[in-house]
Amino acid sequence: MRTVANLVNRLGEEFDFHIITSDRDSGDVEPYLGLSYLCWNRVSQAQVFYTPPGLKRPLRLVRLFSRTPHELLYLNSLFDPAFTLLPLFLRGLGVGPGVPVVLAPRGEFSAGALGLKKTKKAIFLFIARLFGLYRGVIWQASSEYEAADIRAWMGRNARVMVAPNLPSPIHEAVDLCVIGRQTENPLRLVFFSRLSPKKNLDVALRLLHSVRVPVDFSIYGPQEDRAYLEQCRALAASLPGHIKVFWHGAIHPEQVAGVLARQDLFLFPTRGENYGHVIAEALSVGTPVLIADTTPWRDLASAGVGWDLPLGDESAFVDRIEYCAGIAPTEYAVWRERVRRYAGRKLAVESIIEANRQLFLCAAGRVAVSARE
């Protein structure tokens, strides 16, 4: 996860990170290349233990959880059976060190995220609360919006600490001369995320049915759900002739900035994000964004860097796309520079680093509570 990578890069000299994770990306059938199994791997400033899928994984996780000395257990995701629910269940049984637990739900309490498999998730959360699965957990919220979502489900007395996600470094080296906008060419529109129902690529494609201007729509991201991908491909095939769709798949993280810099507008009608690293990345290279109002990135229009719109107002999305297609090249260049300056202010990281530092220190009992609760 980009969030965890940034956390290690920023705080790895102060905290001893041991990370237990899968040996492959979601949806991949092959593991990462060059891994050493059944031992810790040094990766950047962390020790990482990669576990393959299969029947032995739960037993391996039990051994790691109980035998690896640690002062704090940091869990990503609310529902992951292996890397969240199993450690919480073992904790309830008294297996392993009785250390504090910080859980980062990563936007999974948002209305959009819970709307997927809604009944199943609601039943699970009811049972989990009934049996105290999350009792004593310290919740990390990336924003006040997420803190409110967490308390809405876990109760007013839930201990929630706000520590925003750490952004990736600003990309100063991106050459702005390659991103000029030419009004006689199609609008360069990009979608960049995992291809899953939560990210709403199908909504983006449906919006384009109503767009009357030429658009080159580039789609980047790894496949997670084959049936969903086929649904999106069918929608793309039904678009009018002036809308061209280009499927690029997943790319290396180091390529992301250059790809986004060469686009005119980032379209992301997501169901919900607790942060949205790709939004920050687009802004950092001067690419305006057109997103749903389901992320912490709000009031973008007043800042003059894009729009955050209600998902139900599809005509507003269409209007903004057509508006961007008509902007003169000189005006577009000025706009992009404004977007870059906004990102430079918004992504100043010292206060965010301190909030995450205080989260860990307070949770581990090293200092008195000073992070926002």
* Per-residue model confidence as pLDDT tens digits over 181-234: 666 789 999 999 989 999 999 999 999 999 999 999 999 998 878 899 999 999
HSE-up (13 A, CA, CB side) for residue 373: 14
Q: Which of 10-14, 169-173, 305-309 has the lowest mean pLDDT?
A: 169-173
pLDDT for res 173: 46
User: Residue 257: pLDDT above 80?
Assistant: yes
CA 366 to chain CA mean position, Å = 29
d(CA 342, CA 345): 5
Task: Name the least confident of 118-122, 164-168, 187-191, 192-196.
Answer: 164-168
**Least confident window among 92-101, 120-129, 130-139:** 92-101
Kindly tell me if the per-residue pLDDT of 291 is higher than 90.
yes
Contacts of 40 (CB under 8 A, 6+ apart): 18, 47, 48, 49
- pLDDT above 50 (res 284): yes
Q: Residue 342 carries which side chain, given as an amino acid letter?
A: Y
CA–CA distance, 281 with 287 (Å, rounded to integer): 9
CATH topology assigned to domain 2-166+349-363? Rossmann fold (3.40.50)
Residue 42 has pLDDT above 90, yes or no: yes
* Mean pLDDT score, 260-278: 92
- The C-alpha atoms of residue 76 and residue 97 are separated, in whole angstroms, by 19
Say whether pLDDT at 55 is over 90: no
Q: What is the mean pLDDT of the chain?
A: 89
* pTM (two decimals): 0.73
pLDDT at 300 over 90: yes
CATH fold for domain 176-346: Rossmann fold (3.40.50)
How sure is the predictor about 178, in pLDDT bands with cuts at 50, 70 and 90? very low
Buried b (16+ CB within 10 A) or exposed e, 11-49: beeebebebbebbeeeeeeeeeeeeeeeebeeeeebebb
Task: Give the percent of the chain with pLDDT over 70.
Answer: 94
Place of tokens 């205080």: 358
Q: Which residue has the tokens 């918004």?
A: 346
How confident is residue 177, by pLDDT bands cut at 50, 70 and 90? very low
**The pair of three-digit structure tokens given for residue 172, joined into one six-digit string:** 């100063």
Can you name the residues that pair with 190 across neighbouring β-strands? 218, 266
Residue 51 to residues 37, 64, 74, 114, 269, Cα–Cα distance (Å): 7, 11, 17, 28, 34
For residues 109 and 78, the answer to whether their CB atoms sit within 8 Å is yes
Give residue limits of the domains in the chain: 2-166+349-363, 176-346
pLDDT for residue 306? 97
> What is the structure's pLDDT at 152?
93
Domains 2-166+349-363 and 176-346 share a fold: yes
**pLDDT value of position 32:** 86
Position 287 scores a pLDDT of 95
37-41, 147-151, 197-201: segment of lowest average pLDDT: 37-41
Q: What is the mean pLDDT of residues 3-21?
A: 92
One-letter amino acid at 317 equals F
Residues 6+ apart with CB under 8 A from 155: none
- Calculate mean pLDDT across residues 6-28: 89
65: left (phi over 0), alpha (psi -120 to 50) or beta: alpha
pLDDT at 85: 93
Nearest 10 degrees: Cα torsion 178, 183, 186, 188 = 40
For residue 302, pLDDT over 70 is answered with yes
> What confidence score (pLDDT) does residue 335 get?
94
Give yes or no for residue 332 having a pLDDT over 80. yes
CB-count exposure of residue 85 (10 Å: 0-12, 13-18, 19+): middle
